[in-house]
Amino acid sequence: MSEQKNDSKGEEITVIGKIGKVLSLVVDRFEVSIITISTMALAVLLIANVAARNIYRSIYFAEELAQFFVMIITFIGTSYAARKARHIRMGALLEAFPPKLEKAMMFVISAVSAIVMFYLAYISLQYLMNIRVRGTTTASLRMPYWYFIIAAPIGFFMAGFQYVRTFIKNIREKDIWQSPEQQSEYEDEESMIAEATKESESMLEQITMKESK
């Protein structure tokens, strides 16, 4: 009976892990797609506006659309930074602490950051609802202004969710996790350096083999 219970618990853990990986992949694709499309659209808009200004006159709605794309990039990028450990933090100070104290600090940082993000999401949602009730529109396009700030509550809520994931990740894992997906904010750079070192070593071996022949 105990073996069957352990097997069922192990299956539940694996299923939860698989669901978490799928959700993480979906969120990653969503955030990366939104940020990439918004950045490309912003670049095209600014270039087109400069060209139009030199030829005839500026695009009258360019400033409003640029503001819209910047807000999307900023607030969705907040969630992406929290998930990839790219937010500003005192990394050198934390790494100077003993492992247990650093782990405790990560719990405090993750919990406080999650609370702050959820609170900001609540405030921004209230502001969005007030703007929607008032029927405020933009000056040039006459679009509802709440369209332009909808990225704020979404971005803050997603960032808070990522900090909750970080808190849970540090509970489940013995190692110290800076985000739910990365142990260190320099993890990608370290892997790139390791791969480059391996490639350079293999190239040197090939050159020495040719010279010896």
Pick 90 or 130 by higher pLDDT: 130
pTM of the model: 0.74
Whole-number Å distance between alpha carbons of 62 and 51: 12
- pLDDT at position 116: 95
Query: Residues 6 or more apart from 52 whose CB is under 8 A from it?
Result: 58, 59
- pLDDT at position 186: 53
Which residues lie across from 42 on neighbouring strands? none
- pLDDT at position 197: 61
Q: Which two tokens mark 164?
A: 């909750």
- pLDDT at position 55: 87
| HSE-CB of 47 using CA atoms within 13 angstroms | 6
- pLDDT at position 72: 93
User: Among residues 181, 183, 177, 182, which one has the least CA distance to residue 24?
Assistant: 181
Q: What digits encode the pLDDT tens for the residues 53-69?
A: 888 888 888 888 898 99
- Would you say the C-alpha torsion 166, 169, 174, 179 has a positive or negative sign? negative
Domain map (residue ranges) of the chain: 2-182
Q: What digits encode the pLDDT tens for the residues 13-33?
A: 566 667 767 777 888 888 889
Q: How far apart are the first and last CA of the chain?
A: 66
Q: Which amino acid would we find at residue 44?
A: V
